[in-house]
Amino acid sequence: MTSEPAAALDLAAATAVLREHIGAWLEAVAVERVSVGNSQETWLVEATGAEGRSAAYVLRRSVPAGVLAWTRREDEHRYLAALAGRGLPVPTVHGTGTLGRSYVLMGRLPGAVAGRLEPERATALSRELGGWLARLHALTPAELGLPADGTGREATLREIAAWQGRYEDARPGPVPLLGALLAWAERAVPDDGRAPALVWGDPGPHNTLVDDGHVSGLLDWELAHLGHPLEDLGAAVWACLGRFDAMALVAGYEAEAGPVDRSALDYYVALGSITRTVMMVNGLAAWRDGSATAPSIAGLGLDLVALSLARAARAAGWGELPPPDGRPPELPLWPDAGAAVAGLARWLAADVVPTATGRERRMARAAEALLLATANRIPASEVADLARVEAEAVAAEQAGGDAAVRERLLADLAREWQRLEPLTTFHGHPRPWRGEPLG
């Protein structure tokens, strides 16, 4: 499968969208695709209107493949429209349609995506974000005009089944630890009687705008759904990743919503880590089949898969990763060495060679050829039958869990993570066998 060309949004198309959904007086004067919101295409549109007044909009268009390619812009529009006028800093939605792929048109909010901050500022913003999550979850589906039935536990079980299907459909190969954690998550769902609420689905600093020292926008609602409120809080804890303060975020939530049961929160932190691992597996699948070629997709994906598996296991009560013992992994994560080298060759051919000139072009072609030859020379790894190991681990979790099986899976992840140290160093992620916190 090859990547679908990313057709540019030109001024004429942008103007037509604005006039269809807002008014005939608008005209687009500038469009720019930005790198934020990597799960979908994000276009900034500047327009002029009546009496020359300017306005700014955001058009999010579905990508053909990637981490969240299966989500629908129509759903994003529906949930944001339900939140209109409720006092939350969310974008105003103006409509949906199709420009080659589906899109949602929104107003542009002030501020910039939260980056790495000084500790004091990070703590304050974390508390503020926690408060916004609590206020979101205080809104009942009925008052938002959204149909809901059953309990939060039943909604969580539906979510786990959906993520299980995404994992099985997209994975380049079995990941036994992930399969075991999914089985654990299904068995261990807390039964606290909470009713479903509208959850953001992908909360955290990566989707939070900050302006003048305060949260000014909650972005990217493609994962919104009716679920257990702690599903959001657990995912937000996962997303802090050294940028926000997880403890302050939880404190901000409790200041609005009241005390949170810590055992239930631990479960949902584990679940958030599990579902984020499945997202990364989806991204790696797109990289495998050529739908995406950037090395960052494979590098960050591989690193975050390892990190998220370790965090999920700890939150699930399986323990910390042991120090690596120097042995090669029996259950290596994908991409293996051969796939990684071949993928780098694809990236050079697709993204570097076409734009290079002169000596740089020749060197890029030489590097491509060398990488392909190297991939051919890497012998196949002698590893365990991953499907069999995963089936045994899943069966053990369904039966209540087996400490010896868990220890084997965690020891193997520690060996794999040691080989990933250049990636974890590059991304600034912790290395658990050195006693560093996992966030």
List C-alpha distances in Å: 294 to 279, 283, 287. 17, 11, 8
Residue 261 phi, psi dihedral angles, 5° rounding: -65, 120
Q: What is the pTM of this model?
A: 0.91
Number of domains in the chain: 2
* Residue 34's pLDDT band (cuts 50, 70, 90): confident
Structure-token pair, residue 366: 């030489």
With 60 as the cut, is the pLDDT of residue 6 above it? no
In a domain, 77, yes or no: no
- For residues 380-406, give the mean pLDDT: 92
**Residues 154 and 191 placed together within one structural domain of the fold:** yes
pLDDT attached to residue 297: 85
pLDDT attached to residue 292: 79
> Which of 50-54, 260-264, 310-314 has the lowest average pLDDT?
50-54
Domain that holds residue 237: 112-118+138-241+257-335+381-434
**Residues 352 and 231 placed together within one structural domain of the fold:** no
Contact 36, 19 (CB under 8 A): no
- For residues 364-374, give the mean pLDDT: 93
Contact 313, 406 (CB under 8 A): yes
Query: CA-CA distance, 132 to 178, in Å (whole number)?
Result: 31
* Residue 64's pLDDT band (cuts 50, 70, 90): confident
Query: CA-CA distance, 229 to 197, in Å (whole number)?
Result: 6
In a domain, 220, yes or no: yes
With 80 as the cut, is the pLDDT of residue 234 above it? yes
Helix (H, G, I), strand (E, B) or coil at 401: coil
**Residues 361 and 325 placed together within one structural domain of the fold:** no
* Residue 110's pLDDT band (cuts 50, 70, 90): very high
In a domain, 159, yes or no: yes
pLDDT attached to residue 296: 86
**Which residues are paired to 94 by β-bridges?**
none
pLDDT attached to residue 437: 59
**Residues 204 and 276 placed together within one structural domain of the fold:** yes
In a domain, 426, yes or no: yes
Query: CA-CA distance, 223 to 17, in Å (whole number)?
Result: 24
Query: CA-CA distance, 63 to 69, in Å (whole number)?
Result: 6
Beta strands in 144-292 (DSSP E): 197-199, 208-211, 214-218, 225-227
DSSP string, 18-73: HHHHT-TT-EEEEEEEESSSTTSEEEEEEEE-GGG-EEEEEEEE--SSSTTTT--H
* Residue 435's pLDDT band (cuts 50, 70, 90): low
Contact 229, 152 (CB under 8 A): yes
Q: What percent of the chain has pLDDT over 70?
A: 96
User: Which of the two residues, 258 and 242, has the higher pLDDT score?
Assistant: 258
Helix (H, G, I), strand (E, B) or coil at 367: helix
Contact 279, 223 (CB under 8 A): no
pLDDT attached to residue 36: 63
**Residues 370 and 409 placed together within one structural domain of the fold:** no
pLDDT attached to residue 3: 38
Residue 381 phi, psi dihedral angles, 5° rounding: -70, 140
For helices 176-187 and 386-398, the axis angle rounded to 10 degrees is 20
Query: CA-CA distance, 40 to 106, in Å (whole number)?
Result: 14
User: Which of the two residues, 351 and 117, has the higher pLDDT score?
Assistant: 351
For helices 176-187 and 152-170, the axis angle rounded to 10 degrees is 160
* Residue 378's pLDDT band (cuts 50, 70, 90): confident
In a domain, 201, yes or no: yes
With 80 as the cut, is the pLDDT of residue 51 above it? no
The residue with tokens 């495998």 is 288
Contact 160, 186 (CB under 8 A): yes
Q: What is the pLDDT of residues 278-327, one digit of tens each?
A: 999 988 888 888 777 888 888 988 999 999 999 999 999 999 999 999 89
pLDDT attached to residue 310: 95
With 80 as the cut, is the pLDDT of residue 350 above it? yes
Q: What percent of the chain has pLDDT over 90?
A: 72
Helix (H, G, I), strand (E, B) or coil at 317: coil
- For residues 264-284, give the mean pLDDT: 94
- For residues 30-37, give the mean pLDDT: 82
pLDDT attached to residue 434: 61
CATH number at residue 186: 3.90.1200
What does the DSSP 8-state code read for residue 116?
Answer: S
**Residues 411 and 393 placed together within one structural domain of the fold:** yes
In a domain, 44, yes or no: no
**Cα–chain center distance at 345:** 26
With 80 as the cut, is the pLDDT of residue 266 above it? yes
Q: Average pLDDT over the chain, rounded to whole?
A: 91
Contact 13, 99 (CB under 8 A): yes
- Helix (H) or strand (E) run with residue 286 in it: helix 262-288
- For residues 67-83, give the mean pLDDT: 93
pLDDT attached to residue 439: 58
In a domain, 148, yes or no: yes
pLDDT attached to residue 4: 41
In a domain, 46, yes or no: no
pLDDT attached to residue 5: 42
User: Which of the two residues, 100 and 258, has the higher pLDDT score?
Assistant: 258
**Residues 170 and 275 placed together within one structural domain of the fold:** yes
List C-alpha distances in Å: 37 to 161, 207, 341. 26, 8, 27
**Which residues are paired to 12 by β-bridges?**
none
**Residues 345 and 279 placed together within one structural domain of the fold:** no
**Residues 328 and 348 placed together within one structural domain of the fold:** no
**Residues 346 and 221 placed together within one structural domain of the fold:** no
- For residues 130-154, give the mean pLDDT: 95
Query: CA-CA distance, 86 to 135, in Å (whole number)?
Result: 10
pLDDT attached to residue 425: 87
**Residues 303 and 341 placed together within one structural domain of the fold:** no
**Residues 284 and 369 placed together within one structural domain of the fold:** no
With 70 as the cut, is the pLDDT of residue 184 above it? yes
- On the question of a cis peptide bond just before residue 335, with omega within 30 degrees of 0, the verdict is yes
- For residues 69-87, give the mean pLDDT: 94
Query: CA-CA distance, 414 to 179, in Å (whole number)?
Result: 17
pLDDT attached to residue 49: 86
Structure-token pair, residue 244: 């926000």
Q: What is the pLDDT of residues 322-349, one digit of tens each?
A: 999 989 899 989 888 888 999 999 999 9
How many degrees, rounded to 5, is the angle at CA 157 between CA 153 and CA 161? 170
